[in-house]
Amino acid sequence: MKCLLTGHLIEGSHKEQLYGLIKKKTGVKYVFGFNSGQEAIHAALKARGLGPDDKVIMPSYCCETVARAVQDTGATPLFCDINDDYNPDIDHILKLLDPSVRAVIVPHLFGNPADIDKLEKSIDERGIRSKIFIIDDAAQSFGARLHGRLVGTFGDAGIISFGPGKTMTATGGGILITNSKNLSEGLGRLNPSQVDLLSKLKRLAYWIVFRRWRRFTFPLFPFFRRFLEKGDHKEETLMELCNVDGAIGIEQLRKLDSLIQVRISRKKSLDDRFNLCYSRLFALLPSNDNSGEFLNVATKYLVRINDNHYTQHVQGLYKQYSSKVGIEIQNLYMPLHLNQKYVTNGYSLPKTDAYYKQLLQIPVEPSIRPAEFRFVIQKFEKFVEHFLNIQNRCNDNDPSTY
């Protein structure tokens, strides 16, 4: 609110305050702010000197903005498969390494830490660690821990995002963190531009109206999307983090641990319920241990249908049912190797091809009140019970029986 009253939406002191808090939280030496997580990845690759003829390994199953960031530098994405936890398959990454590969991006999807330390150790054992630039993409999972260490602090550079659906949200923004002096100097030479005031006012209006009163404004989403995209800068142009996002980020960072605890608590209650009642039907992401060494912050809560025979049927019914009872279920990712924009040769990614069709999502966001969360669980259980009753009629696509 202070940024609005003083007019300091673009420039101001909040950005540097946020950078200092992130340094304290993560223990890193250098922090840089950009207009989005995509731009933060783009900046990291650009500062490292990647360009045409270079390849960057990344999972096909992740947010498309990661591939866009790679292409913005002129480099080519090279897609790897995923594991049972939907994070990058490190063994497959190691098989893909060749002299043209100069970087690997490891996203920690849905709040679940990827095995990035295995990647670092394996590349180091091959004697090529200095040649491979590793980006620890914690955009979806900041606050999660692997071996007690915050994700985002592995590799050569870490990424934090303030976009929708993240553990920290603002009107936009992305943070790049690193301990590398050389990378820091390269980033310092990029000279990102400032976001123009009109674009930021549009984003702020979207954030206040659409995000705050989502249940009422959701039907207007296509209009908001066109409104935001009209006149926006091209993503290959790097922009600085805005002061208003720095101010929001400060408050989000202060609340981060308590918000994560809500997600963790809801994940545990769902894990216990599923393991007791539906373990044969659904596969779950790993549960947290009591030591804090492994911490899944449950940015999204996903279940995977074990029987592929029912996948297409149950996904369609689930989406229709959720909409009918008033639960918003966001679309999950379409694998990028199935997108003609990114395909240059054939890919064999068996787990990616299978799993993306088998996932169902249950909302666990802290913005959902406890009574609403109980409603979500109740409706999901009703859906599962109905689904179990119609397994033998998988060609019946009529949701009217609910």
The CA distance from 192 to 171, in Å, is 18
Query: Strand 145-146 to strand 294-295: parallel, antiparallel, or no bridges (unpaired)?
Result: antiparallel
The CA distance from 104 to 77, in Å, is 9
The CA distance from 32 to 176, in Å, is 5
319-321-323 Cα angle (round to 5)? 70
Instruction: Note the pLDDT tens digit of each residue in 22-56.
Output: 999 999 999 999 999 999 999 999 999 999 999 99
In this predicted structure, what is the pLDDT of residue 46? 96
Comparing CA positions, the residue from 198, 98, 253, 161 lying closest to residue 206 is 198
User: What are the residues whose beta carbons fall under 8 Å from the beta carbon of 13, sequence distance 6 or more?
Assistant: 243
Complete edge-to-edge strand list for the sheet that includes strand 133-137? 30-34, 174-178, 157-161, 133-137, 101-107, 55-59, 76-80
DSSP3 helix / strand / coil % (the chain, rounded to 5):
45, 15, 40
Instruction: Kindly tell me the sign of the dihedral angle through the C-alpha atoms of 16, 25, 102, 69.
Output: negative
Residues 158 and 275 sit within 8 Å (Cβ to Cβ): no
The CA distance from 354 to 82, in Å, is 10
> What is the architecture of the domain spanning 263-401?
Alpha-Beta Complex (3.90)
Q: 76 pairs with which residues across the strands?
A: 55
User: What are the residues whose beta carbons fall under 8 Å from the beta carbon of 276, sequence distance 6 or more?
Assistant: none
Q: 212 pairs with which residues across the strands?
A: none
In this predicted structure, what is the pLDDT of residue 327? 82
Question: Which residues in the chain show pLDDT less than 50?
Answer: 5, 231, 233, 394-395, 399-402
In this predicted structure, what is the pLDDT of residue 180? 98
In this predicted structure, what is the pLDDT of residue 121? 97
Chain centre to alpha carbon of residue 26: 19
In this predicted structure, what is the pLDDT of residue 201? 62
Q: Where does 154-241 have alpha helices with state H?
A: 181-188, 197-205, 214-217, 221-229
Instruction: Note the pLDDT tens digit of each residue in 308-362.
Output: 656 666 777 787 888 788 887 777 899 999 998 887 667 889 999 999 988 888 9
pTM: 0.88
The CA distance from 127 to 123, in Å, is 7
286-289-294 Cα angle (round to 5)? 70
Rounded to whole angstroms, what are the CA distances from 38 to 33, 316, 378? 12, 31, 37
The CA distance from 138 to 144, in Å, is 8
- Buried b / exposed e across 137-169, counting CB within 10 Å, b at 16+? bbbbbbbbbbeebbbbbbbbbbbbbbbeebbbb
Give residue limits of the domains in the chain: 2-252, 263-401
**Looking at residue 144, what DSSP letter applies?**
B
Residues 105 and 66 sit within 8 Å (Cβ to Cβ): yes
Check if 2-252 and 263-401 are the same fold: no
Instruction: Kindly tell me the sign of the dihedral angle through the C-alpha atoms of 393, 398, 399, 402.
Output: negative
2-252: CATH topology is Aspartate Aminotransferase; domain 2 (3.40.640)
In this predicted structure, what is the pLDDT of residue 118? 97
In this predicted structure, what is the pLDDT of residue 30? 98
The CA distance from 104 to 344, in Å, is 18
